[in-house]
Chain A
Amino acid sequence: MKEKLEQFFRENFEDAVIRTDYFRDQLSFYLRPEYLFEVCQALMADNDLEVKMLSDICSLDWLGDPEEADGRFEVIYNLYSLKHSYRFFIKIRLSDDKPEVDSLTSLWHTADWLEREIYDLMGIKFIGHPDLRRILTADDVDGYPLRKDFPLTYEKPRFSYNKDGPPEVIT
């Protein structure tokens, strides 16, 4: 299955793939954000690969890390093919000043709530989503909690047995 997927991408979407990665038996393709919708549509329609299930969408924030040079945000699509029992990943990098990507709601209904959650917690907008609003956090939370520059907002302990030093700061 790994070879079939690599062949599929080589034949049809040569210029969409930036690089591939194979870590601990997991295959991931880094794509350019503009090609995402076409690639997913083609994967779903292919009769041999039959990638019909979107398991999960995950988002990462690389602030302060050397990986940030490629783009601050990373969105990872976790795709599964029931016919071959094979799982692979499609990864996309977005920059800080324009974190927007196409929505996949018209292909998979799973993407509906998952994209809303990413918008709520990380601030990435999905173009074409029918109803993009917050889903998990309270209405008065200002900002996007899962980003690295949002503090943990913990309650500082009011006393400490270590009377000389200040209480430890959690980052």
Chain B
Amino acid sequence: MGLEEKIPDSIILTTMDKMVNWARKRSMWPFGFGLACCAIEMMSTFAAHFDLARFGMEVMRPSPRQADLMIVAGRVSQKMAPIIKRLYDQMPNPKWVISMGACASCGGVFNNYAIVQGVDKIIPVDIYVPGCPPRPEQLINGILKLQEKVEKESLKDKKEGKTKPGKA
């Protein structure tokens, strides 16, 4: 929204902040980037037992151009790394990244020539969810923490170029 560059600092902006953040956090569309075992737990979270649609993530878009939230679920190998970077660049702003599982956060069980030790060496990450694989409740906890983080964002910071995905 280019609107925030024109309006100076005033009260209208804070109420608009609240409204915009409320809309953003309640209807994020995830781009499920399921790579390995964590993808199955992510699919379980979207299924009927632990329903993720009650948090607003009803549709899981397969195309990066239509998604807000990228959940990197699984181990990232050296051959896959440039593709993740390209997909991340294709997502439009605002975008957030959750790194799900131990392998995406820090390399996990595998410490060798073939696995990138943590996806944050390639793209900036907002929330790290540990576990191998994390239980669906853990993933939902991570998503709720992300929603709290989105609530604290402000359009004023976007105007001054302060917020980028990854900054607290």
Interface residues of A (CB under 8 A from B): 137-141, 145, 150-155
Residue of B nearest to A157 (CB): B111
CB interface residues, B 77-115, toward A, < 8 Å: 77-79, 107, 111-114
Pick the contact of A138: B79, B112, B117 (CB < 8 A).
B79
Residue of A nearest to B78 (CB): A138
Say whether B78 contacts A153, CB under 8 Å: no
- Which of chain A's residues have a CB closer than 8 A to the CB of B77? 138
Say whether B113 contacts A152, CB under 8 Å: yes
Say whether A154 contacts B78, CB under 8 Å: no
Chain A interface mostly helix, strand, loop or mixed? Answer: loop
Min CB distance B151 to A, Å, is 34
- Which of chain B's residues have a CB closer than 8 A to the CB of A137? 78-79, 114
Say whether B112 contacts A152, CB under 8 Å: yes
Q: Besides A138-B79, A153-B113, 7 other CB < 8 A contacts?
A: A137-B114, A139-B79, A141-B113, A145-B113, A151-B113, A154-B112, A155-B117
Say whether A155 contacts B111, CB under 8 Å: yes
Min CB distance A151 to B, Å, is 8
Interface string of B130-153 (1 = CB under 8 A from A): 000000000000000000000000
Min CB distance A90 to B, Å, is 30
- Which of chain A's residues have a CB closer than 8 A to the CB of B113? 141, 145, 150-153
Min CB distance A27 to B, Å, is 35
Min CB distance B119 to A, Å, is 14
- Which of chain A's residues have a CB closer than 8 A to the CB of B112? 152-154
- Which of chain B's residues have a CB closer than 8 A to the CB of A139? 79
Pick the contact of B111: A138, A140, A141, A154 (CB < 8 A).
A154
Min CB distance A7 to B, Å, is 46
- In the docked arrangement, what's the CA distance between A153 and B107, Å? 13
Residue of B nearest to A151 (CB): B113
- In the docked arrangement, what's the CA distance between A133 and B143, Å? 43
Min CB distance B57 to A, Å, is 33
- In the docked arrangement, what's the CA distance between A139 and B66, Å? 31
Min CB distance A156 to B, Å, is 9
- In the docked arrangement, what's the CA distance between A152 and B107, Å? 14
Residue of B nearest to A139 (CB): B79
11 A–B contact pairs at CB < 8 A?
Answer: A137-B114, A138-B78, A139-B79, A140-B78, A145-B113, A152-B112, A152-B113, A153-B112, A153-B113, A154-B112, A155-B107
Of A138, A139, A152, A153, most buried by chain B (CB within 10 Å of CB) is A138
